[in-house]
A and B are shown apart, each in its own frame.
Chain A
Amino acid sequence: MTSSITAPLEVRGLTKHFPAGSAVLGRSRVHAVDDVTFALRPGTITALVGESGSGKSTVARLLVRLYDPTSGRVLFEGKDVTEDRRRRDVLRYRSQVQMIFQDPFGSLNPVKTVRHHLARPLKLHGRASGDALDARMADLLDLVGLVPAEKYLAKYPHELSGGQRQRVAIARALAVEPTVLVADEPTSMLDVSIRVGILNLMLDLKERKDLAFLYVTHDLASARYVADTVLVMYAGQIVEQGPAESVLGNPLHPYTDLLLASVPDPNAGARPPIEVRKGVASAAVDPPEGCRFADRCPLRIDVCNRVTPELVAAQPAHSARCHVTAPSPAIREEIHVDSTDTAVPS
């Protein structure tokens, strides 16, 4: 892979806050995404996993510029695009960074044919016209496994199965020859027997087109199946990131542990029950200083409620936000002092 020297898309300190509550009684803010940093490289799939409300879809929307970030930068080929306002710049960025949505029933126009869905981006972005148009559309359908193309071009969305619709949505995204594809839960609304087909298609496209994928999902097993790198989000922050095998095989963060213990896996054998949590899930509304997972964490120590952990690399390329499993040098010193000097632990 010659093109993998620079990451086409990189985000640094990406943050998105939404106002919440009433403006009169003081402005509280939902910290949907806080200080998120990662890079997407060509020919790799990066999985962004987390539960609903963790902020993963907000990250996806920030990447395709459906939202403007509160702070932080989105770098495309090294250039910050968050300030781009000129139509030409925005169009160029949008053609390079495409998105596939969760619902293939909602993302296609029900009164338009497959031909319309594919021809439109090709024409709008000046990729093909006239006789070349048909050839290009046939290529695209072939790429996503809808052959022969003639059979599909004249069809309306309701004449296609969910899996076929999602393939059309992917073909449409590929029409403008993007370098980055953001796929937000692309299989969660499909029947189980056809999900694997879409995952396999992502794997094929990554190889054949050298695409950089961001695969947003709540399904850890599918992330392990397709991804090279895994980012785990909790309450707006990335709490763990690293190679898929390490993150899902030897997790550092106790939240990743909990997720893994929760996934049904008949091959995992008998497992101890997880601790049932009382009360409500931690929403990141005006979060106080400290680790956001602390109130659920079996490893919690005193410092967790006081200091927000940083992402620290405990192993090469594998980092976590956890004072216990991946302490920063300063924290390590503090814990060490605590355990030797104080007789009574708090």
Chain B
Amino acid sequence: MTAVVRESQPSMDVKRESVVELRGLSVAYGDVVAVDGVDLTIGAGEILGLAGESGCGKTTIANALMQILRPPARISGGSIFYRGEDLVQLGTEELRKHRWRNVSMVFQSAMNALNPVMRVGDQFVDMMRAHEPVSRRAAVARAGDLLDLVGIDRRRVRAYPHELSGGMRQRVIIAMALALEPELVIMDEPTTALDVVVQREILQQIGDLQRELGFAVLFITHDLSLLFEFANRIAIMYAGEVVEEAPAARLHQFARHPYTLGLIRSFPSLTGPVERMAGIPGSPPDLAAPPEGCRFHPRCPECTGERTELYRLQTSVRPVLHELEPGHRVACHLVEQRG
């Protein structure tokens, strides 16, 4: 994939160009703060990759964007602007209109998201008629077009989900997400359950569709190497915070946060010499009692205590995102000192 890495917009333009802006978004599950003050902008027509380990808050962000958080989860602070309108303030009926039409979502393990006792075409019809006044006949025709779009024979509208392979089911789900021509499609680990060959086929297809139709994608995954190839921009999350954000090509070459560097060093390569890799020691923190200061400090190879003042900062003051270069932001005391 020759990913055309579009440089992120200069900050002046962001307001005009952005589809979605998260401002200080916090989401809590009871007392546990799963997403803690996240700022994130998704530009029109861009593929933003959101990477991190399980429990870091990536899926919670997706659910907040769709406004489908269920108790005990609740937005405990901040705003989610869609084209300037704060979704957090919207009522139920307004949200119903917003969902799927403006922002749609391909869920994790979407392969199991289809109703097993309903023909594929009927599931499209249900979804479309819930959102717009369209005749059954027109909806079925549109379902056929959408299947065509994702490379499935349109006659498969008559098929039941079990008659389709995993990869085909995933394509059906993607087709459904595109049905109302949303501006943003959230994809939460859309290829994780699939084999590598099918994964590559689907990624290629998403890329082609995205170029053709121009929607933006929030692509959530734990697989950073996949994002380097596929995303325009990447944000790295750790323990509920964004710790680094940069254009994909820049992050691949010039990542600065020790966590990002550790993640990069956690993926063996198929090329180059085989060298012993370190991974990251320890495991992600318990969000019910996150570490003081930088949340990564207990696992950080750069937090050694050799420099007393730095160590004090690392262990007691939460670092904030700091712009190194236009579009490249890092939340790390060490990087801030070194510049």
Question: Which residues of A are in contact with B by a Cβ distance under 8 Å?
Answer: 51-52, 161-164, 191-197, 199-200, 203, 218, 220-222, 224-225, 248, 258-268, 270-271, 273-274, 276-278, 280-281
Contacts and interface: CB of A to CB of B under 8 A. Distances in A.
A88 B54 CA distance: 44
Interface string B272-292: 101011111101100000000
Given A51-B195, A274-B197, A221 B283 contact: no
Nearest to A54: B195
Interface stretch (B32-40, B124-132, B181-189, B220-228): B220-228
Interface residues of B, number: 44
Contacts of B199: 262
B165 A264 contact: no
A291 to B, nearest CB: 17
A258 to B, nearest CB: 6
Contact of A280 (B2, B53, B165, B283): B165
Contacts of B271: 265, 267-268
B9 interface: no
Contacts, number: 117
Given A262-B197, A276-B204, 20 more contacts: A51-B196, A191-B54, A191-B284, A192-B224, A192-B266, A192-B267, A196-B279, A199-B268, A200-B276, A224-B268, A225-B277, A248-B270, A262-B199, A265-B225, A265-B270, A265-B271, A270-B1, A271-B1, A274-B204, A276-B201
Contacts of B196: 51, 218, 220, 259, 262-263
B228 A264 contact: yes
- Please give me the 4 A-B residue pairs with the lowest Cβ-Cβ distance, nearest first: A196-B279, A266-B228, A225-B268, A262-B200
A133 B141 CA distance: 70
Contacts of B197: 51, 258-259, 262, 274, 277
A196 B278 contact: yes
Contact of A163 (B165, B201, B265, B283): B283
B200 A191 contact: no
A193 B151 contact: no
B263 interface: yes
Contacts of A200: 276-277, 279
B205 interface: yes
Contacts of B266: 192-193, 195-196
Contacts of B308: none
B125 to A, nearest CB: 25
> Which of B1, B224, B265 is the most central at the interface, judged by chain A CB atoms within 10 Å of its CB?
B1
Given A273-B1, A273-B204, A264 B226 contact: yes
Contacts of B168: 280
A88 B53 CA distance: 45
Contacts of A266: 225, 228-229, 252
B214 interface: no
A267 B273 CA distance: 12
A224 B274 contact: yes
B53 A193 contact: yes
A262 B198 CA distance: 8
A193 B279 contact: yes
7 contacts: A52-B195, A191-B54, A193-B284, A194-B279, A267-B271, A277-B197, A278-B153
A259 B270 CA distance: 11
A40 to B, nearest CB: 21
> Which of A164, A194, A261 is the most central at the interface, judged by chain B CB atoms within 10 Å of its CB?
A194
Interface in B176-222: 195-197, 199-201, 204-205, 222
B263 A193 contact: yes
Contacts of B201: 274, 276-277
A162 B277 CA distance: 19
B269 interface: yes
A86 to B, nearest CB: 41
B170 to A, nearest CB: 13
Nearest to B2: A270
Contacts of B45: none
A161 B283 contact: yes
A263 B225 CA distance: 9
Nearest to A248: B270
B262 interface: yes
A52 B2 CA distance: 28
A224 B275 CA distance: 11
A278 B201 CA distance: 10
Given A51-B197, A218-B196, A274-B200, A192 B222 contact: yes
Contacts of A164: 283
B2 to A, nearest CB: 4
A261 B197 CA distance: 8
Interface string B235-252: 000000000000000001
A263 B274 CA distance: 17
A163 B281 CA distance: 10
B322 to A, nearest CB: 23
A264 B223 CA distance: 9
Contact of A278 (B53, B151, B274): B151
A262 B280 CA distance: 26
Contacts of A277: 197, 201
A56 B311 CA distance: 48
Given A52-B195, A197-B279, A192 B263 contact: yes
A192 B223 contact: yes
Interface string B10-54: 000000000000000000000000000000000000000000011
